[in-house]
Amino acid sequence: MSKIFKGRVVLGGNFKGEAVVTHKGLNILASFQKSALKKSKRVICADQNNEELYGRDLTDKIICLPTTIGSTTGGMVLEAVARLGIAPAAMLFSGHIDSLAAAGVILSDVWVNKRIITIDQLGDEFLNTVKTGDVIEIKEDGTIIIE
């Protein structure tokens, strides 16, 4: 049975894909920079401090998270992986989007013309319900369906 959530649209779009979930803050720099610097074909999470995501492929995935953490260069790292064509497809936040992630998704959208669909304020129940590997459908209006 599907579970439906509704959040606030930061950058909208329609997409259906696989979820990767972390209950900790996502360190964008630690997670993405290694793949960006190598100009890899995929982003493999390199943040050893995030055991839920470490070693997982994040390219074209729907990242479900509470917030991002780390260096203020995080936004530029997101823009860099978008430029390389290896960015996540979407970022779904249980709470409010933070300024680091907002900068990255907006830079990717405006400078690279690569939309990373972004929805926030989905609530704690969303993050407690979704599991890595779940198929999620994202609607333009901020509706999230976990199948």
Which two three-digit tokens encode residue 100? 């680091």
Q: What's the pLDDT at 110? A: 97
pTM here is 0.96
Amino acid residing at 10:
V
Q: Binning pLDDT at 50, 70 and 90, where does residue 1 land? A: confident
**What amino acid is encoded at 134 in this protein?**
D
Query: Across residues 136-143, what is the average pLDDT?
Result: 98
What was the pLDDT predicted at 2? 94
Domain map (residue ranges) of the chain: 3-146
- What is the rounded CA–CA span in Å between residue 145 and residue 108? 25
Over residues 37-87, the pLDDT tens digits come to: 999 999 999 999 999 999 999 999 999 999 999 888 889 999 999 999 999
Please state, in angstroms and rounded to a whole number, the distance separating the CA atoms of residues 101 and 30.
14
Q: Which fold has domain 3-146?
A: Glucose Oxidase; domain 1 (3.50.30)
Give the tens place of pLDDT for each residue, 6-41. 999 999 999 999 999 999 999 999 999 999 999 999
Per-residue model confidence (pLDDT) at position 29 = 94
Distance (Å, rounded) from C-alpha 86 to C-alpha 122?
25
**Each residue's pLDDT tens digit, 82-127:** 999 999 999 999 999 999 899 999 999 999 999 999 999 999 999 9
